[in-house]
Structure 1
Amino acid sequence: MTGSKAGAGRERQRRRTRKAIVDAAVELLGRGRDPSVAEIAEAADVSRRTVYLYFPTLEHLLADAALAASRTTVEPQFELHGDVGERVEGLVRAVQQGFAETEALGRTIVRLTVGASAAPSRPGATPRRGYRRVEWIERALEPLRDTLPPERFKRLVSALALLIGWESMIVLQDTRALTAAEAEEVCVWAARALVAAATDDSAPRG
């Protein structure tokens, strides 16, 4: 076997091993567990040392696993029709209506990733959270991309990111004692207000 083929084979094996570890953690998290490295290693049929070769900390592994689980459970289906306000409302409802079904997962992801720092030896190792919601928001706002100044468009995307996802629902439920349905309506109202303000020619620029 040539060096290049051997290298490719080792890389495939590394990917399979990493996937086995993450899949084991996803399965344990799905049972409502807060698994240890030993439990994950046993479920993945690898050693604890192998787990640490791929993940510097248990928190990083669990965050990766929670995010991997979310990719299969949190993918909103929303219709891209109507005016921008309707498109944004459709997105907000599509995301927030799935909150009750994925609340435990969402709280796990928030707990494991908010304020987490990357391992010193692996800059950027902490998983990035929320990048897909930015893609969804930009899709919903696409008709405004060529009509709003670029900085105003970016600011609107950033503002809407505050209203879409587990974080906003957790805040409204935990600090305002709203039901999931009431929290969803608040998010829809606020999202529409932001879109109206961003597209109002009389609104302050900047």
Structure 2
Amino acid sequence: MEALLRWNPSFGAVSPDEFIPISEETGLILPIGEWVLREACRQIKKWEKQKLPKVMVSVNVSARQFKDRNFPLKVRGIIKEENINPNDLEIEITESVMLDVEGASQIIQRLKELGLKVAIDDFGTGYSSLNVMKSVEIDTLKIDKSMIYDVSENDRMLSMLTAIIRLGKDLNTQVIIEGVETKEQSELLKEYSVIGQGYFYSPPLSPEQVWNKQWNNRVSK
């Protein structure tokens, strides 16, 4: 599962595409990011106490958070305070934060030493993270939704998607394709044996909705 941040003030819902960039610019993303991480850990613990199926939760980390050298220490503190198994938490970072290859590699290694999983999000959007993947063991490769958008009508895009999937598997990473919205896209992914993520499978759900009867029936199908 992936933790998603939503803002629904009294004057109406505000898109993450609007408030996240502003939070980045003002620096508010740092306390917001820590709050999201802590809430995700608390939810993991809550599900554990309810004896619900064990599932890993991914949390997106902004470039500004990731560049904070104390970030691994903050993560360790939250994990300890909320008393969760670090193996139940995955940190998602975008390719863009890895332009500083040496710095990114060090932070990723420190996070993995804590027992966390690390995922590269939005892979294939134009930044090169191959150097980091060469030196650091990444657990999950999340391929950007733009790579599957018109793949059924674009042979060049299909070749690129196939190559990236092969790269991920050769490096023993879990491969996830983001932005799956149609049955056609879902069927295409079956031959690659990868995980699909997107509205075709489910819209965003509240923690209470995830394990309700309707959702359990949908997953079993």
Fold shared by both chains (TM-score > 0.5): no
Q: Which has the higher strand share?
A: 2
Q: TM-score, normalised by structure 1?
A: 0.29
Q: Which has the higher helix share?
A: 1
Q: TM-score, normalised by structure 2?
A: 0.28
Higher relative contact order (CA 8 A, sep 6+): 1
